[in-house]
Structure 1
Amino acid sequence: MNDAELIAQFRAGQIAAFNTLVKRWECPIYNFVLRYVGNRDDARDLCQQTFIRAYKNMRRLRDPDKFTSWIYQIALNACRDAGRRRTLVSLDTLDIPIADTTTPPDAMVHEQSVRDLLNRALQNLPEEQRVVIIMKEYQGLKFTEIAETLKVPINTVKSRMYYGLSALKKIFDRWHISEDMVRYEL
């Protein structure tokens, strides 16, 4: 069952349909928020706020086929609101688990260090570039979905992506870190 069908069921009074949406979207939204704020506790809270807002405002969603961009917009607004209310914890404390447990310990430390460097570099980008890179590279959204979420033209999204990746390259050059080490493409 797709998102639009679940939304129709929820609007018809079937609360279980919303629970299915939460199960489907909880991980992608949590990962997006975690990349944005850099702290697990804040990410959990903001993820929960996102779904509470979605629950309360589901009837206002005009086009259920645009649920993806709508839920990311709610998550982004929750992150921005939290940022205005307080300074969120630095990515220095970020501890992202490594999925491959067969990796040798030295390689795991290296992978974690690279992840931490990339996350720190992302935090140095302007917010508009950081959001586009997170949505495209980490969440796998299409440029059209990002444009709908941010309510900007698609070419604006593409230019933010280009300038953001260029800025990341400059940051890594300043830190004397090769592109090969962080495995991202310009």
Structure 2
Amino acid sequence: MTTVNKEITNVKNESGPTDEQLIARFQQGDAYAYDLLVKRYRDPLMNYIFRFLGDRIDAEDILQETFLRLYKNKHYYKEIAKFSTWIYTIAGNLAKTELRKRKRRNIFSIHNFMSTEKDYELPDKGITPDKYANSAITDTEIQKAIAKLSPKFKQVILLRDVQGFSYEEISQIVNIPLGTVKSRVNRARLKLQYDLKKILKDVK
């Protein structure tokens, strides 16, 4: 059995402070609150950045830069947004900048698979990565299929199906309209369904 674990964002222990309480304390000079935020977000952010970039060393560099930005720019955070969406926006922007620097030529494109982005959401009746948890497909194969997606589709599918963000939160993180988020998630799922079904057929 294999599973694709969803990361827990905005973690709050029953007796512990929320992310928003911690960042407020840090803004007031509480360095320990910063340490708690780093501890809370280090693993899920590393997971997100690594899957997005596909390179552990680059992911570690981006992770460190994300926390450095948090430290230097703590007063830019406003309570109108969830802390998790704010820090994932920072990490995502840094990761996309890294991708642009690489100027990769081997990024998989699905423009021929579906040529337009429409402002609607498809019913989720297909196969998402989690739905393969009890199948013959391995977690490694699922991750390889995700890695083949082009960056803009990979980012939203990781945020939605792996990190567990809502469509509204993803819209804030990626800074695109809600309808476009839903469209990209649907297109990414369709591409994953297509690729994973081929793998499933081969292993039967």
- Output the TM-score relative to the length of structure 1: 0.75
Question: 1:85 corresponds to which residue?
Answer: 101
CA 64–7 in structure 1, closer or farther in 2 if over 3 Å, else same: farther
More helix by share: 1
2:78 is paired with a residue of what secondary structure?
coil
Question: 2:161 corresponds to which residue?
Answer: 137
Question: 1:2 corresponds to which residue?
Answer: 18
The equivalences for 1:86-165 within 5 A come to: 86=102, 114-165=138-189
- Shift of residue 178 of structure 1? 2.1
Question: 1:177 corresponds to which residue?
Answer: 199
- Shift of residue 5 of structure 1? 1.2
Task: Report if the CA contact (8 A) 1:3-1:64 is conserved.
Answer: no
Q: Which has the higher contact order (CA 8 A, sep 6+)?
A: 2
The letter of the residue matching 2:98 is A
Question: 2:66 corresponds to which residue?
Answer: 50
Question: 2:57 corresponds to which residue?
Answer: 41
Report how many aligned residue pairs link the two structures.
Answer: 157
Task: Report if the CA contact (8 A) 1:7-1:64 is conserved.
Answer: no
CA 140–87 in structure 1, closer or farther in 2 if over 3 Å, else same: same
The sequence identity of aligned pairs, in percent, is 33
CA 64–56 in structure 1, closer or farther in 2 if over 3 Å, else same: farther
Larger deviation: 162-171 or 57-66? 57-66
Task: Report if the CA contact (8 A) 1:30-1:44 is conserved.
Answer: yes
Cα shift readout 1:11-45 (whole Å, capped 9, x = no counterpart): 11111111111111111101101111122222222
Task: Report if the CA contact (8 A) 1:33-1:43 is conserved.
Answer: yes
The letter of the residue matching 1:178 is L
- Shift of residue 127 of structure 1? 1.6
- Shift of residue 55 of structure 1? 1.2
C-alpha distance in 2 between matches for 1:83 and 1:65: 26
C-alpha distance in 2 between matches for 1:160 and 1:85: 23
- Shift of residue 66 of structure 1? 1.9
C-alpha distance in 2 between matches for 1:178 and 1:132: 24
For the aligned residue pairs, the C-alpha RMSD in angstroms reads 2.4
C-alpha distance in 2 between matches for 1:87 and 1:120: 20
The letter of the residue matching 1:18 is Y
- Output the TM-score relative to the length of structure 2: 0.69
The answer to whether the aligner puts 1:21 opposite 2:43 as a matched pair is no
The letter of the residue matching 1:43 is A
C-alpha distance in 2 between matches for 1:57 and 1:165: 35
